[in-house]
Every structure is written in C-alpha cells, then in structure tokens.
Structure 1
Amino acid sequence: MGLFSKKQPQLSVAYTARGAGGGLDQLVTMTNPTDDDLVPTLRFRPLTAYGQEIPGVTVTSVQGLDRGMLKVPARSTARDLLRFDGPGCRQVCHVQTEVLDLFTVEPVSGLTIPPTVVMVDLDKLAVADPENFWGIGVANDNEEPMRVRVSVVELEPPHTDRKLRKASRQPVDWGTLEGDVLLEPKSHDVVWLPDEMRGRYHAVLGGVTALDLG
C-alpha cells in the first residue's frame, strides 16, 4: 500500500497482513529512498479486502511510527507492528497510510543497514520459544554508531476457532526498553530480560530512535 504525501511522494510503506514462515503478522515496512534521514508521524487507516475503510477500528503501532518515535535513515527502512481494536478489527486486510508530519534530521547518519534484533537464550543463540527467551541480541552492521529503540511483543494465542483460522495474530501487549541501546560501529550487544518479563513475550522489534536527533 503506497504512502500518500505531498512532501515526499517517493516514500513507500508495505503492509504484510500474514507473515511468511513464522514471521510477524500485521507488519509495516517503511522505505526511505531519499538522501535525507526522516522522522515521520503516520496515520494508518484500516481497510477491508475491497479497499473500504472500516469505521470504528483504531490502529496503534508498537514501535511508534504513528507517534514520531522512529528515524528512517536515508536509503534505509524501518519496521513496525500494528494492532487493530474495535468492531470489525478482524476484517482488516490492508491499511492506507497518510503522513501527518515529516521532518528531516541533519546531519545524515549514514545508517543504511537497519539494526538486527533477535531473541536469544542463555548461550546468546537466537531462539523463537518464549520459554527460552532470556535476552535481546542487538547488532549494528553500519560504519557509524547507532541508537536503537527496542520493543518486546506478546502475541495472542494461535487461533483455534475455524472462523479465525485465516485471521492475523494480533499483538496483545508490548513494552519498550526504558533506555535505547547504544551501539558502536560494527558492534553488537545483549540486553538481558528481568525475571518478571521472561516466558511471556514472543517477538522483538528494533529501529533507529528518533530521540537521537543528531
């Protein structure tokens, strides 16, 4: 679904209703092909399979693309996860995206590669099972330092109702780390979860924070 903006018509947002191969449902990916680092504030309108807007359904993003919380560096991308609430929320098949606000950040950061963020176990190996999720591995493959906004996501249980077998799996709760993860060029780190957060979350997301405007 295209991104509608008089300021930057070349920007785009792709929406994935159902993730392939165990990937997250209701994921949006914003692509910035310009030579400027941008901080957008977006509005997502929920649409049916026929392109009709669904009244009464509200849309919230986990990482904050709808609140100006992420920076999308030049020649790079940013990802976010959507939650739909209200009558008809299970009917959402697509989203239309509108730019409410957009500003340029200078100087350009040079962060053309998005951060890598994965769930890890005690041996710092990538895992998918919440029971083995002990920490968050964060990596920066760029030649410049990076400040990463990291969120953990709890998903609703897999659908057992036959009427919902094709429905997306919604995020039911999430949290963002109190402090951003600061990474030097070509480096990585692990943030260990406190005991009260273990066994609960199913996924992690990371993006370049907009709070680091330099």
Structure 2
Amino acid sequence: MGRRRLVGACLAMAVGGMLLSGCGKAAGVRPDRGVGEDVPGLSKQLHFEYIGDSGEDETINQILQITNDHVRSVVPLLSFTALDKNHELLPEVKVSTVYGSERGKLVIPYGTGYDILRFSGPGAHDVADVDVTVNLVVPAQMEAGEHDVTTQALDGQGREISRFERFSKVRLTNEDPYPVWVRVAYVVWDQPAEGDTQQAVDVTPIGGLTRVPPSGTAVVKVTGAAADAVSRNSRGPAVSIKAYNSQ
C-alpha cells in the first residue's frame, strides 16, 4: 500500500464475453503466448466492480474487484474503457493494469481476486468508472491461493527492513496448505491532489514466476531493473511490494 488518504467507489458493468452495453470484443487484443484457448461459458462466471477509492486510509485506489463463480481458478484476458461520472466515454484515456489482467498474466481464484488499474492521457483524473470487456477466459494451469501471499523486504543479511528502505530480497509467505505460483511487483505511487485517486506511476517486476510452498516461504532476490528501481525510490513517500497469483 502507498501511504496517504483516499475518495469514491463506483460499480463497473458485469460482462460475459462482451460488454452489456453491446460493444464486442476489443479489436487486436491477443493473449500472451501460452495462455491457451478460450473456454465458452467461463466469461459469464466473471463479475466486476470498480472501486475508485475505498474511503479508508492506507488502502489501494483504482481497484478492479473480480468475482469468479467457477469452481476452479481462471486466467482472464480483459480490456477496459474509461468512463466519467456521467458514465460517458473518455476516449483519450488509456487503461492498463499493475497485475496484467489485460495481458493474461493474472490468475483469479474461485471467489474473488483483483487487479489495480492505471489511467493515463487527457482526462485521466476524470475517470469515475470503467467498462470491462472479457476477450478470453481459460482455466488456470495451477490453482491460485485462497489467501494473498504476503511480502517482507529483507536486507542482504536476510534481516527484515521497511519496504521504504533499500532492500535486496523479498520474502514471500503462503498461508494456504498447497503450493501457489506468484509474481512480485515493486510499485511506486504518486501523491494525488485532494479529490484525486492515487495512481501507480511505476511498476517493476522483482524476479519471475515463483513457487511458494504449502504453508511456507520463498525468497526472491532483487536484481537488475528491480534493484535500480529500489535504489531510485528508497526513502520515497509511497511504495508497495505486491505479490499476485500468476502463471
């Protein structure tokens, strides 16, 4: 989580294969290599809610909550259209994500999962809601965890330190009694003006796809671009280390 205050929640349109407003699949969208072939009917089991601001301190803004009614974990490929407070389109606003649900990188467990949306371009601060298009849904190769995998920054000697310091490792902890596979993102947040939601302005992967054992831990080293990002932003005002289900 970034450090700060927050403001307003909006409900997104539920979708099943295409937008309820009648829009078809987004042109040119393709899954990342290895996602798989679409399974008819799975899209109807996904439902979405956009939460611009929870109204609570120290919580993440611009959340897309995803409810999965299917009994197994799934991988969606999504695209988004930004809307203003009057539910009018904001055609110049580009919508992307932190966890990669628009690239087939996010695994959603049975129940609920989420992604974090990013808005850029003219009108980005006017976004109040989003339309979601489900382009493809496939069963996940591995089951996602029921609980979020937690992260802890470590120094070179393995001692726990703050995420705001210059850390060199990240310890991942899995509460579930089965193994899970996650990716880790180092997120730098902006400092929004009063009334604006908080944006993720920079997102850098730490390591790659990582297996965390049942009721156990794994350690990921911070190297390359991730080490550079930590060096630039350590002691900064708002950073997060987020682990998310992936494949």
Deviations 1:92-115 (A, max 9, x none): 011111101111236x63x45143
CA distance in 2, matches of 1:121, 1:185: 21
Correspondence for 1:48: 84
What is the deviation of 1:33?
Answer: 2.4
For the aligned residues, what is the CA RMSD? 2.3
Q: Is the 8 A contact 2:204 2:229 kept in 1?
A: no
Deviations 1:31-84 (A, max 9, x none): 2121122110011211111211111111111110011111213x2433222111
Structure 2 matches for 1:149-160, cutoff 5 A?
149-156=183-190, 158-159=191-192
Q: Is the 8 A contact 1:79 1:207 kept in 2?
A: no
Structure 2 matches for 1:70-149, cutoff 5 A?
70-73=106-109, 75-105=110-140, 109=143, 111-122=144-155, 123-124=159-160, 127=162, 130-131=164-165, 135-149=169-183
Which of 228, 236, 241 aligns to 1:196? It is: 228
Secondary structure at the counterpart of residue 9 of structure 1 = helix
Higher relative strand content? 1
Structure 1: stretches of 5+ with no match in the other structure: none
Identical positions, percent? 23
CA distance in 2, matches of 1:132, 1:182: 24
Secondary structure at the counterpart of residue 28 of structure 1 = strand
Change (3 A) 1:105 1:196: closer
Change (3 A) 1:169 1:146: same
What is the deviation of 1:192?
Answer: 4.4
In terms of mean alpha carbon deviation, does 17-26 or 2-11 score higher? 2-11
Correspondence for 2:15: 4
Structure 2: stretches of 5+ with no match in the other structure: 1-11, 18-40
Secondary structure at the counterpart of residue 57 of structure 2 = helix
CA distance in 2, matches of 1:196, 1:67: 25
Correspondence for 2:244: 207
Which of 37, 40, 50 aligns to 1:15? It is: 50
CA distance in 1, matches of 2:122, 2:203: 22
Name the count of aligned residue pairs: 200
Secondary structure at the counterpart of residue 178 of structure 1 = strand
Q: TM-score by structure 1 length?
A: 0.81
CA distance in 2, matches of 1:66, 1:101: 10
Change (3 A) 1:86 1:167: same
Change (3 A) 1:154 1:119: farther
Which of 207, 220, 223 aligns to 1:178? It is: 207
